[in-house]
């Protein structure tokens, strides 16, 4: 069943992303990569969510929209403090890939960037903005997060797994 959240500022959206990432780390690796599709209009909060999500993965680098480069790759630390305890835990994921498909013209273009290998590696976590652009190359199992603009600072996030 889909989970819905209403956020009233960017920080709240980041916190949802952060918690979501920590839950993924806690749940351990699957058969293939964890793939998130971030859907929604320009300014709906996809990159804002990705910023919180990366923070939840323990990534310290600044996250910006990879609009022009299409893909950015970040190393996930081997040990992260996932829960509230002071001890850090071993993490079995290695890389976080952040895609922005806005500038792709054809689904096929993403294959040249190694998309298939990336999503088949179970140690990867992948977030894709504008997944509609690659609708012809859908991975089998994805987590879909829909962002709706409700007001100036109000957004609705619908997460379906």
Site of interaction with ligand ADP (CB under 6 A)? 7-10, 12-13, 40, 42-48, 65, 129, 147, 153-155
Partner whose footprint covers residue 124, from ligand ADP, Mg ion, none (CB < 5 to 8 Å by kind): none
Cβ closest to ligand ADP, residue 65 vs residue 88:
65
C-alpha closest to that of 37 among 161, 117, 131, 137: 131
| Encoded tokens for 49 | 């969510």
Taking 3-state DSSP, the helix, strand and coil percentages for the chain, each rounded to the nearest 5, stand at 30, 30, 40
Q: Hey, which residues between 41 and 80 contact Mg ion (CB under 5 A)?
A: 46-47, 65
Q: Which stretch binds Mg ion (CB under 5 A): 68-76, 89-97, 110-118, 127-135?
A: 127-135
C-alpha closest to that of 49 among 148, 161, 152: 148
User: Residue 26 CB, nearest distance to Mg ion (Å)?
Assistant: 26
Cβ closest to ligand ADP, residue 110 vs residue 129:
129
User: Residue 25 CB, nearest distance to Mg ion (Å)?
Assistant: 23
Report the sign of the C-alpha dihedral through residues 117, 28, 26, 77, in that order.
negative
The stretches of the chain forming alpha helices (DSSP H) are 10-27, 46-56, 115-120
Cβ closest to ligand ADP, residue 22 vs residue 98:
98
CB distance 33 to 120 below 8 Å: yes
Partner whose footprint covers residue 98, from ligand ADP, Mg ion, none (CB < 5 to 8 Å by kind): none
Instruction: Summarize as ranges the residues that interact with Mg ion (CB under 5 A).
Output: 46-47, 65, 129
């Amino acid at each position: 069943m889909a989970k819905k959240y209403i956020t009233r500022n960017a920080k709240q959206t980041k916190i949802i992303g952060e918690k979501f990432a920590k839950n993924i780390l806690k749940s351990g690796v699957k058969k293939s990569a964890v793939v998130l599709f971030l859907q929604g209009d320009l300014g709906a909060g996809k990159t804002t969510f990705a910023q919180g999500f990366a923070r939840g993965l323990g990534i310290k680098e600044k996250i910006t929209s990879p609009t022009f480069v299409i893909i950015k790759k970040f190393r996930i630390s081997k040990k992260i403090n996932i829960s509230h305890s002071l001890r850090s835990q071993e993490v079995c994921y290695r890389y976080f890939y952040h895609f922005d498909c806005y500038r792709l013209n054809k689904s096929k273009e993403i294959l040249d960037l190694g998309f298939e290998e990336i999503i088949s590696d179970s140690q990867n976590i992948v977030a894709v903005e504008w997944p509609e652009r690659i609708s012809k190359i859908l991975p089998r199992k994805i987590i879909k997060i829909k962002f709706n603009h409700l007001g100036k600072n109000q957004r609705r996030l619908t997460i379906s797994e």
